Amino acid sequence: MSCYDDDYIFLCSAEDAWGIVLQTLAAAGAVFTIAAMTALLIMVPHICVNVKRAIVPIQFIFLLGTLGIFGLTFAFIIKLNRQTCPTRFFLFGVLFAICFSCLLVHASKLVTMARGGLAMSWWMMLVTITALSLVQIVIAIMYVGIYLARNISECDLNKVDNNASNPDFVLLLIYVFVLMAITFLVSIISMCGSCKYWKRHSAHIFITMFFSIGIWVTWIVMLLRGNASLNKHMVWDDPVRAIGLVANGWIFLIFYMIPELCLMTKHQSDCDQGKNLSQPHPPRQIVGTDNQDFTQEDSIKGRFLGK
């Protein structure tokens, strides 16, 4: 690979600075994600709440998906060709499906926790995430394996107008749209409970989904309408998708993962404290042998005085 190759020109071209800026942000995001994964593993022995410890595997998978999102950015900085095309169509939806599935499972768990109830176990959450992600994996395999294999020429930017593949790219992500909408709604429901401590975790997911939906709406509108109306689709399509990847990756880290790490080692929740305060234990009366002797002596003295 060389920067003089036409496919890799945006990785080091000073004239098109967007490639250098985005790969810098993507590399920084990848390093920060690896640091967050390391911090999460270090915190595991110090997590005293079993409910929080059960969510650690889910958040680790979430960070793996975020790491993949930052890595996928480079496939959009490099020009569209027969190597980057299948990677783009397959991994874009799959990585986001994994991340949004993790957020959906966490939000679903918080719906019960915010109401003081018991939540699903860690293995049940893993099974749910796997099932939700497999749907997008199957969709992507069918498109890449069947359609692109028969129409491989569409992966050559020099032969085919890239604007023609944009609707296919967006349609391939319909299932991810559904995951985003459901996660957003569940995060709202999870903030309606009585336990303020768990509602803070719900707020992290709500804010993350709010900004993620805004980013997705923006880049999809630009990809399908904005770039074409400005006659810039051949120039701006890849930067728009790459910006969407980097922006959403940092949203995942700033608004969800960092706050979650800050609350990871905190102890008893306000809900548990409230339960302890609402049901005070009566003072324990210890009756020993000495107390019984004194009681018997007092009763004997009382009898003599009565006489």
In a domain, 297, yes or no: no
In this structure, how many other beta carbons lie within 10 angstroms of the beta carbon of residue 110?
28
Is pLDDT at 256 greater than 70 in this prediction? Answer: yes
41 lies in some domain: yes
> pTM for the full model?
0.85
**pLDDT one-digit tens code per residue, 287-297:** 444 455 545 55
| Interval 108-129: pLDDT, tens | 999 988 776 677 788 999 999 9
Identify the domain containing residue 106 by its residue range. 6-267
- Residue 113 belongs to a domain: yes
Neighbours of 257 (CB within 10 A): 22
Q: Of 189 and 229, which is predicted with more confidence?
A: 189
Domains held by the chain: number: 1
* DSSP secondary structure letter of residue 284: P
Closest CA to 65 of 45, 39, 91: 91
3-state secondary structure of 1: coil
- Length of the chain, please? 307
Quick check: 4 pLDDT over 70?
no
Does residue 59 carry a pLDDT above 90?
A: yes
User: What's the CATH number where 75 sits?
Assistant: 1.20.1070.10
Which pLDDT does position 278 carry in this prediction?
36
